[in-house]
Amino acid sequence: MKTAAGNPEWERELIRRVLDGEKQLFHELIRPCERAVYFLLLSMLRNEAEAEDAAQDTAIKVFRNLQMFRGDSQFRTWVLSIARNEGLGRLRRAESRREDSLDELTEEQGGDFTPAILMSWREVPAEVLERKEVGALLREAIDRLPAIYRNVVLLRDIEQLDGRDTAAALGITEGAVKVRLHRARALLQRELAPKLKGVVPKRARLLRWGA
Amino acid sequence: MRIDCKHVWEHISAYIDGEVEAELRAEIDRHLETCEICSAVLDSTRNVVVLMADERVFELPAGFSERLHARLDEELEPAGGS
């Protein structure tokens, strides 16, 4: 049996066996999803402890409702929509302590989407940042994004879901995913380009953060 | 058609994802050849996208998985064993 995550045959087989009583196999079924579940919930709830608690509740709800999975979407997408509902339920219960935490913001959300243009072409790059610092800068910038952009960027760029699965998991259209992803990246570029000059991702043969 | 910088920026995200139509892509490529500003904007946006995909940037909290599966075990095998 192939164990590749996202392999629908492997998932169907595992689900059947779990439902037939081999409950321990549920660990293997949920394992490939747990990262995306946690980060989606962290994006929504913005609190590590609560996101972890919500991720555990999500896993248990997935187990209890496994017979409801119809197989008309990817298993991971279904799991993420359960995570999203868990997150929304918690936000509602918290009576929206932060107004921007709910999904109801409109696309007309303000924000300056023009890119950062750095004209200091010959400037010596800022001190080369340790990856740890790069990570912290990225996480902070993402944390500051409005929720509707943060959730999309989380699933598309961090967890590498495609547009269709992201739309399904978040209950929005693929068009909305594209618009929000574009705006999120524009906001991140604007915020990060000036700070990350001189840092080049290892996997990319890219050289410049700014002109 | 000669596209301007603002027009290019509107399509940068789709361009990075390879989702712009061939004709527009060719226009953007032509623009990028001569516009250092837009090339830099493209490179830096792409850098952000590449960095976000790096698993080291977003790590699960230490012990997250162990705690999750321990909690699941309580559900899968309620007290008294199966």
**Residues of chain B contacting residue A209, judged by C-beta atoms under 8 Å apart:** 40, 43-44, 47
- Specify the pLDDT at position A175: 95
- Specify the pLDDT at position A194: 84
> What stretch of H or E contains B74?
helix B64-76
More confident residue, A12 or A208: A12
- Specify the pLDDT at position A204: 46
- pLDDT reading at B72 higher than 90: yes
**Of A55, A117, A188, which has the smallest distance from its Cβ to B48's Cβ?**
A188
pTM of this prediction?
0.80
- pLDDT reading at A38 higher than 50: yes
Residue B40 near residue A209 (C-beta atoms within 8 A): yes
The owner of tokens 């995550």 is A5
The pLDDT-based confidence of A198 (bands split at 50, 70, 90) is low
- pLDDT reading at A4 higher than 70: no
Mutate to test the interface with B, among A22, A61, A118, A157 (most CBs of B within 10 A): A157
**Residues of chain B contacting residue A180, judged by C-beta atoms under 8 Å apart:** none
CB contact under 8 A, B75 and A63: yes
**Whether B44 contacts chain A with CB within 8 A:** yes
- B20-B22-B25 Cα angle (round to 5): 60
Largest CA distance in chain B: 74
The pLDDT-based confidence of A172 (bands split at 50, 70, 90) is very high
- A128-A130-A131 Cα angle (round to 5): 120
- Specify the pLDDT at position A74: 86
Give residue-wise pLDDT tens across range B27-61.
999 999 999 889 989 988 998 898 888 877 888 99
- pLDDT reading at A108 higher than 60: no
Residue type for position A128: V
Give residue-wise pLDDT tens across range A122-158.
333 344 345 667 888 888 999 999 999 999 999 999 9
Residue A51, both tokens: 């996101």
The pLDDT-based confidence of A188 (bands split at 50, 70, 90) is very high
- Specify the pLDDT at position A209: 56
The pLDDT-based confidence of B3 (bands split at 50, 70, 90) is confident
- Contacts A–B by Cβ distance under 8 A: 140
Residue B29, both tokens: 């490529």
Share of chain A above pLDDT 70, in %: 73
**Of A64, A160, A196, which has the smallest distance from its Cβ to B47's Cβ?**
A196
Give residue-wise pLDDT tens across range A70-104.
887 789 999 999 999 999 999 988 865 555 545 55
Share of chain B above pLDDT 90, in %: 61
